[in-house]
Amino acid sequence: MGHSPWLNFHEWRKAELHSHLDGAVRPATAEALARELELDFPRPLRMVAPPDCPTQAAYIGYFDDAIAVMQTAAALERTALELCLDSAAENIDYLEVRWAPRLHLRRGLAVKEVIEAVLAGLAAAPITAVAIVCGLRSHSVEENVALAREAGRFAGKGVVGFDLAGDELRFPAVPRPAFDAARAAGLRLTCHAGEAGTPAGVEEALRLGVERIAHGVTGARDHRIVERIRSEGVVLDLCPTANWKCKAVPALAQHPLPELVRSGVRCTISTDSRTVAETTLTHEFELAEAMGMNEPELRRCNETAYEAKFG
């Protein structure tokens, strides 16, 4: 089933809830920043994951070069603003930008300064753009708790949520204390789960009391977990191209998005990482339509994004 010429997703007013800053850096900007920082990296920079990425961990590797150039306040502010401009160009008027501040400390910035720089870029945007701070599965509980507390100091000042990201296979445990600290500070909670590993990983995220799960794809294999997600009203922020490139699904045609929506699960559609996934939100909606979703179902996903937003 191809794309319907009468459905112009580009023109739709859209909200995007799952967009990684370090996965959405313009390649030309990254090259310019690499020159400024005099980084001795192979050129061109390695920023676009191939379709045959074998695992989630391999996919995450394509964020590394972008992170390396995002080590100054100016670079963070610039990349945050450019992501908003690229989003505005396809009629996204509400955007939640997420990233892991502790990955941007190599040139002397403090976590507080990293957050301030990204918020400055978002504040300059022509759209409503807010931030979600990500802890990492590979970092210690103490590091993630300290991060959650620092992020909480920006609650109501541009940071709206706390998340956990990273390699689910190597680091399956979810540090509850960090989520407790974020909740106490007034941040909304989401968690990456179900892009690798077993459905149990999704259930572990549900136990944290999160409102939304980033991906949750593997959970669709277990009807009991799907029913729990549906009954608790938890939203899944799904990213078809990224889910396929991470091999959470073997093919886009087998993505669980249509089935989840029809079973009553609240789902949103996002890019995850425009540059690494090599996609746009418009294209993700076109892919969902190619999976057999009709216009009311697709509009419902977009409406859910506005209803479930943290800002």
Residues annotated as catalytic (active site), given as ranges = 195
CB 244 within 8 A of CB 259: no
CB 255 within 8 A of CB 249: yes
Question: What is the token pair recorded at 23?
Answer: 């996965």
Question: What is the H or E stretch that residue 228 is in?
Answer: helix 223-232
In angstroms, the CA 284 to CA 279 distance is 7
CB 185 within 8 A of CB 148: yes
Question: What is the token pair recorded at 40?
Answer: 């001795």
Q: Tell me if the bond preceding 44 is cis, omega within 30° of 0.
A: yes
CB 118 within 8 A of CB 97: yes
For the chain, helix, strand, coil in percent to 5 are: 45, 15, 35
Beta bridge partners of 98: 20, 132
Question: What is the token pair recorded at 1?
Answer: 């089933």
